[in-house]
Structure 1
Amino acid sequence: NWVYHAFKDGQIIDLLFALGKGFLGDPNGVVLSDEMLARARQASLDGTVFLMASVEDIIHSKLLVSWKATRQEDFQDILLLIRNSKHLDWDYLLDNISRYPVRTLALLSYAISCEITEDHIPIEIATEVETLSKRLFQWMGRVA
């Protein structure tokens, strides 16, 4: 109910309809919705036109499945997407990933530590992550 495995010339093609059901306590994961379809853009490959998920929805999917230690490369992929996207819809993205606050904070902290600048992440978000980090160290009795 979430993936279809197709085979052509010995190659496997996965068509995903939902991703991460049950991961991080989320019963639905990322489900293909009308909103996702409306935000998708057309792409083509070898003359075949298809819809490709928005960058925000790809980030959401990668954040959800990055919970495994074997998927650490997903954070690197997300940073590349953030760096190379000129107009991320941060409100839409944060609304979706707010279901995973620890993963979201880890991602944003990682992005800032990798010198992702306000050109890529709104300064308000970067400031809030820094403030949360300082408050955590103060709470632990350490100087931030």
Structure 2
Amino acid sequence: DIISFTINMEQIGDIIERVISDIEDKKIRPHRNFSEAGMAEIVEMHERLVANLRLGMSVFLNGNVRDAQKLLEEKVRFRDLERAYANTHLTRLMDRTAPSMETSSLHIDLISDLKRINSHICSIAYPILDSAGALAPSRLRSSLVGADDPH
């Protein structure tokens, strides 16, 4: 569990290193800004990410099954938030919001990277839930497995 945790933290660090480089190259150096709405989305995602990191650290240190379940619930909420913000960003692009157009690829990449970081944080819950027997063998619904398979 410690090795898995360490690997996830290392992967998070790699993502953050790349994100900082992208922000410097695509936003800071060319003096671009996110739209006000886009920046608010990023701030909200970051705040949730920090809260999930705190919860993940608590799960790792204490092994509380209920908190591990809550962390995986937060993973689903975070994924839904990322999708919603990608859609609102596309709406701003259709409305031709200048800051959104200037930082479009960075914004989409950043919210996607935040989701990836969150996934690494949430993976802390899996060993705890597995040890407690609280994980299903597969996330796929059994009624869908093999439904379209002609073999």
Q: TM-score, normalised on structure 2?
A: 0.26
Higher relative contact order (CA 8 A, sep 6+): 2
Say which structure is richer in strand: 1
Say which structure is richer in helix: 2
